[in-house]
Amino acid sequence: MKILIVEDTRAVAAVMAARLSALGHETSLAENGRVAVDRFREDPPDLVLMDIEMPVMNGFEATNRIRAHEATQSWAWTPIIFLTASDTAENLVTAIEAGGDDFMSKAVPEAVLQAKMKAMARIADIRQRLAVANRKLEEQANRDGLTGLANRRYMDLMVDLRWADAQRRKAPFALLMLDVDNFKKYNDRHGHQCGDDCLRAIAGAIAATVETSNAEGVTGDAFAARYGGEEFCVVLPQASAPAYEFVAAALVDAVRRLGIDHPDNAEWGVATVSVGGARAVVADGDLAPLFLTADERLYAAKHDGRNRARID
Question: What pLDDT score does 26 carry?
Answer: 92
Q: What is the CATH number of domain 2-140?
A: 3.40.50.2300
Banded pLDDT at 255 (limits 50, 70, 90): very high
Helix orientation angle between 241-257 and 192-211, rounded to the nearest 10 degrees: 140
CATH architecture of structural domain 152-310: 2-Layer Sandwich (3.30)
| Domain boundary assignment for the chain | 2-140, 152-310
Question: What pLDDT score does 129 carry?
Answer: 79
Q: Identify whether 90 is a catalytic site residue.
A: no
Active-site residue, selected from the candidate residues 230, 231, 245, 267? 230
Q: Would you say how long the chain is, in residues?
A: 312
Q: Give the least confident one: 24-33, 122-131, 198-207.
A: 122-131
Rounded Cα gap, residues 82 and 94, in angstroms: 10
- Averaged over 138-160, what is the pLDDT? 88
Question: What pLDDT score does 292 carry?
Answer: 96
Q: Give the least confident one: 72-76, 129-133, 187-191.
A: 72-76
Q: Does residue 215 have a pLDDT over 60?
A: no
- Residues 229 and 184 sit within 8 Å (Cβ to Cβ): no
- pLDDT tens string 83-112: 887 666 776 777 777 778 888 888 888 888
